[in-house]
Structure 1
Amino acid sequence: MQFTFKFQSLNKLLPICLAIVTLLLIVYLGQQRSIAQMRSNVTVDFGSPATDTISMSGILHGIDTTKPPDSSIKPLQAKLWRAGRLDIYDRVIASGAEFQLVVSDLWGYGSNPKGWPYQNYPAWEAFVRQLAQQNKGKKIIWDVWNEPDLRNPFWNGSREQFFETYKRAYRILREELGPSAMIGGPSITTYNKEYLTAFLDYCKANKLEVNFLSWHELNDTMILFVDDHVIDAKRNFQQSASYRELKLQKIYVNEIVGNLAQYEPGEILGYLYNLEYAKADGACRACWDTTGGKKVSNCFNNTLSGMVTPNTFEPRAAWWAYKTYADGVNSRVLSRSDNDRVVALASKSNPEGNAQVLLGYFDRNYSSATTVTLNLRNLPQLGIQSGQKIRLKLEKIPNNQERALQKLVTVKEESVSVVRNDLNYVIPNFNVHEGYLLTVSK
């Protein structure tokens, strides 16, 4: 029997097969390029201490007189606490933080029966005077009004009416409390240079001091620019001879971390790193509603602005981001990353006496993981010599949102020998929104 093979069908399929193979090669090679691009290199120099480091650990609202317990508060080592109530003053001061009082919170905004200040200036002045008289001798930073550029719910008048409101409050506070009282603002919703210039020009024209300048950074897509804003404000306002008579002493970014990032360790560390780098004088974590169907404000449920769980006060990932950040502030060393969205906060000594590197990866528009290569330099500055074995412990701060996190997730522990004075360490599959803590011990 004779067999005859016909290749007509195969000939028709051949171009299709070639096209599929070509497409797969393009996709494969494209993936290879993408993978190659998603590598981040971080250098830490334990021989180069950072100078004049200021902690950005701070909180807006978040507590009452007893809750959450001190054991939840103390590890965060908050340096600035912004609140609209006075019954927590003693607790805040005992924690080691400065107390910033939002006067407008006590006035009540539009819900005050007397209306907005510009509708009844005598009532506003009497209120401020009584408040000052009742709190003489307390170490209060006086923040006159919250977000006067946000029409609802915090302001219903014009910009000029807010300036007048500040002027009347400032003069009474200065009269009652003397020249050392810290009075400032305007605590607007974003870094609006035109608004800040108009405010400072008004104060200059009316011979008012602005002892601190403040605004909020709550746009989670703009984390890369918060340091630029602080540097710009220092150069154009604080250090400017034109505004010297305002006695502008401090730059406070007194609300940070937006709604989208409130539980995300990577973004939180991005805010803290950039503000610390720019040498702001203080920052406070903002508070937002909880997620899910039944929303509750994290401002007033005693959760440290959402960092611990309600009622049970268990730590969340956000709490661990702040805690590990605070652990390293006092011994900060210089670090450098070739990826702007991967930040490293390195320290020679945490409370246990060990060196640590705290890393965060943030990006609202990109979801791919990155591989981070850490180059740890000048290890002899930690008392580690060439040939010596050291212990490395890598822990993850996962992006687990509102769920409790009793402890950091241990990824790897190992003992390695140091060759020369440096060491390379690789962290693969570093996901966006997460944080990692590498601890170095002898």
Structure 2
Amino acid sequence: MNTLLLLLACTGLALAGPGAVLEAQQAVGQTANVDVSVTRGKPDHLASGWIYGIPDNFPNQIPRSWYTDVGFRWGKGGGAQLGAVGQRGWVVSLNDYKGRFASTLANYKTCRALGADFHIYVHDLWGTDHAGGEGGKWPGDNNDFSDYDRFVKQLMADVAANMDPAHVTWDIWNEPDIQPYFWVRSAQQWVNLYVRTHKMIRANRALDAMKISGPAIGFAPGPNNAYWTTWLPQAVGNNTIPDYYTLHLLGGPGDINYDPEYTNVSLARLLKTYGAPQRQVFINEYAAAAEMVPSGYVWWISRLERYDTPGMLANWLSGTQLHDLFGGLLTKRSNPADYAATDYAPAGGYPVYKYYGTNMTGLRVNTTGSADRWLDVYSTVGSDKVRILAGVRVHTGTYAVTVRGLSAVGYASGSVDVTAYSFDGTSTTAIAGNPTSRGKTSYSIANDTITITVRQTEAHTAWAYEFDVKKH
């Protein structure tokens, strides 16, 4: 929830001619590729998770099918923005911590009932939104961690007593570089907190199965990011490397610094520089507010799937909506701000995630995004059809998707009949319909390949393309 990185959302509806002939001058930099002859294992819906977005009761008021249809995998909570007496976090009182833990536990129970894993927002249980700014109470002030140690011990005991640690990840502290929202002290004081917490957790044998994540820095890894270069050598030196390296990629459309294609390289260089081991990367907040439309969602799904990277959607809502609406994938027919209302409806992104979680079966196949980084694709080969999701990252232009290796799915020559669908949602509040059929087009095969043109004249719409798998 990086409030400093809100970007102006684009507007409009994308129109494209799915059966158009590829222009002779189509730029190579605007072409994405799918190779249906090279498989990459079964779909695990790596992008199907979000932070908060789950009502604070169990069983909660959102019907189970809304979760299962999108292949829900990950959830995260910690009681952020709860402001009533008894819900303001440890920084106010033990009783206020208990109120936030009750919210956290309810979200955990929902996740586990659906087979999803749960990540804890520990800074929210502390209560950074009630910490009082510069005059407030922060862990390690005056080099005194005694109150924070009591907090960690209380939370460890509550996790051990109420949760299955094997399905829990402890996120040590969120976005210490996003000040004054989540931290108002020095980078070194935060590193001291991190090292101390990691050692306390690993000394607790009841939590041996629980994963630790970090550093959850808001800005991308690189040699000029003082938070990364302060944290990483000390994490190595103290043997406190997390189980997951957590990144937040919230820069918005066109920002190369917040593209996994870039951050995978920049993080690898940092790890090498400081002699740090490889770990699973988890993008536990992805997509800027401007990307919360179908084209942005598909671009992120495609990126995360290609790099085998789990991810959770960021959540740009606030108040009670933060604890509802799947981070903007859902809305309500009456009033989305009415927390008690149960007339849920799909917002612009939900049909995308439903198609991703329900329709894309079989095996994943190799893909590459366009060289200009705007278009990306995700594809599966099922027993019945080849399915391709294509999304231009909230951008316009003429693009192409080449589909290679067609002989592997039964097309030796001739043509392929491709049906195109558009996802036409425009926002996180307006109700969205099912994907719209844009008709069937016959594409001639050349060199085991067909090429589909996408004319993205508006920014929001994403695309799905389907064609039959021929039986051998």
The residue that corresponds to 2:92 in the other structure is: none
Q: Following the alignment from structure 1 to structure 2, what is the Cα–Cα distance between the partners of residues 122 and 229? A: 40
User: Would the aligned equivalents of 2:425 and 2:433 in 1 still touch at CA under 8 Å?
Assistant: no
- CA gap of 1:42–1:260, structure 2 versus 1, over 3 A, is closer
Structure 2: tracts of 5 or more residues without a match: 1-22, 79-103
Q: Following the alignment from structure 2 to structure 1, what is the Cα–Cα distance between the partners of residues 454 and 188? A: 53
User: Would the aligned equivalents of 2:131 and 2:137 in 1 still touch at CA under 8 Å?
Assistant: yes
Q: 2:365 aligns with which of 303, 321, 333?
A: 333
> What does 1:35-434 align with in structure 2 at a 5 Å threshold?
40-50=30-40, 55-64=46-55, 65=58, 66-84=60-78, 85-109=104-128, 111=130, 115-119=137-141, 121-136=145-160, 137-138=164-165, 139-176=167-204, 177-193=206-222, 194=225, 195-225=227-257, 226-232=259-265, 235-236=268-269, 242-244=275-277, 249-262=279-292, 264-280=293-309, 282-289=310-317, 298-300=321-323, 302-309=324-331, 310=336, 311=341, 312-326=343-357, 327-328=359-360, 331-336=363-368, 337=370, 339-349=372-382, 353-363=384-394, 367=396, 369-370=397-398, 372-384=399-411, 386=413, 391-401=417-427, 402-413=429-440, 421-428=448-455, 431-434=458-461
What's the C-alpha RMSD, in Å, of the aligned pairs? 3.2
State the aligned residue count.
391
User: Would the aligned equivalents of 1:147 and 1:154 in 2 still touch at CA under 8 Å?
Assistant: yes
The alignment partner of 2:175 has SS state of: coil
Q: Following the alignment from structure 1 to structure 2, what is the Cα–Cα distance between the partners of residues 425 and 111? A: 53
Instruction: Render the CA deviation track for 1:270-323: whole Å, top value 9, x for unaligned.
Output: 22323333333x21100113xxxxx766422x1100001034221122112223
Q: Following the alignment from structure 2 to structure 1, what is the Cα–Cα distance between the partners of residues 42 and 232? A: 27
Higher relative contact order (CA 8 A, sep 6+): 2
Structure 1: tracts of 5 or more residues without a match: 1-33, 290-294
Q: Following the alignment from structure 2 to structure 1, what is the Cα–Cα distance between the partners of residues 411 and 279? A: 41
The alignment partner of 1:147 has SS state of: coil
Structure exhibiting the larger radius of gyration computed from Cα positions:
1
- CA gap of 1:233–1:57, structure 2 versus 1, over 3 A, is farther
Q: Could you tell me the TM-score, scaled by structure 2's length? A: 0.73
Post-superposition offset of 1:250: 2.1
Q: Following the alignment from structure 2 to structure 1, what is the Cα–Cα distance between the partners of residues 279 and 467? A: 38
Q: Following the alignment from structure 1 to structure 2, what is the Cα–Cα distance between the partners of residues 98 and 305? A: 17
- CA gap of 1:419–1:37, structure 2 versus 1, over 3 A, is closer
Q: Following the alignment from structure 2 to structure 1, what is the Cα–Cα distance between the partners of residues 441 and 109? A: 45
Q: Following the alignment from structure 1 to structure 2, what is the Cα–Cα distance between the partners of residues 122 and 330? A: 53
Post-superposition offset of 1:243: 2.1
